[in-house]
Amino acid sequence: MKNELTSSVPSPSKTKKIIYWALTIYLSFESVLSATWDFNWLNKGFAVGIMNHIGFPSYFLIIKGIATFLAAPVFLLPRLPLFKEWAYFGTFLIYAGAIASHLFVGDGISQLIAPFIFLCITVASWALRPPSRRFPCH
């Protein structure tokens, strides 16, 4: 009886792996979606309005869009540990920069919620990476 109960509960390492993949797949999806907004395919100028509001030139969206679009597959592909580190770091900077930018222009908490959630997802995905997806430190 005891074996039946313990076999239905996932091990901590399996749970960690499931959480990692759920967060990483969502992060990759969000990166593609963000890039499409940056390239103005979906947003009808919404992202340009945000850039103008926080004081960035609208061409910054092209730079950000290319970076986020390139990061999306890197999160999911096997190997490429150095590219993964750069993708995570760049994504971290985008969301931390969004939070700082909204704070600097005096936006309220409602403007900070989304970038804060995405920042937490980025950090959690990075922290939960299995050893095979980490950059080897010597």
Q: What pTM, to 2 d.p., does this model score?
A: 0.87
**pLDDT single digits (tens) 14-54:** 999 999 999 999 999 999 999 999 987 666 788 889 999 99
Whole-number average pLDDT of the chain = 91
Written as six digits, the tokens of 19 are 């959480």
pLDDT above 90: residue 137? no
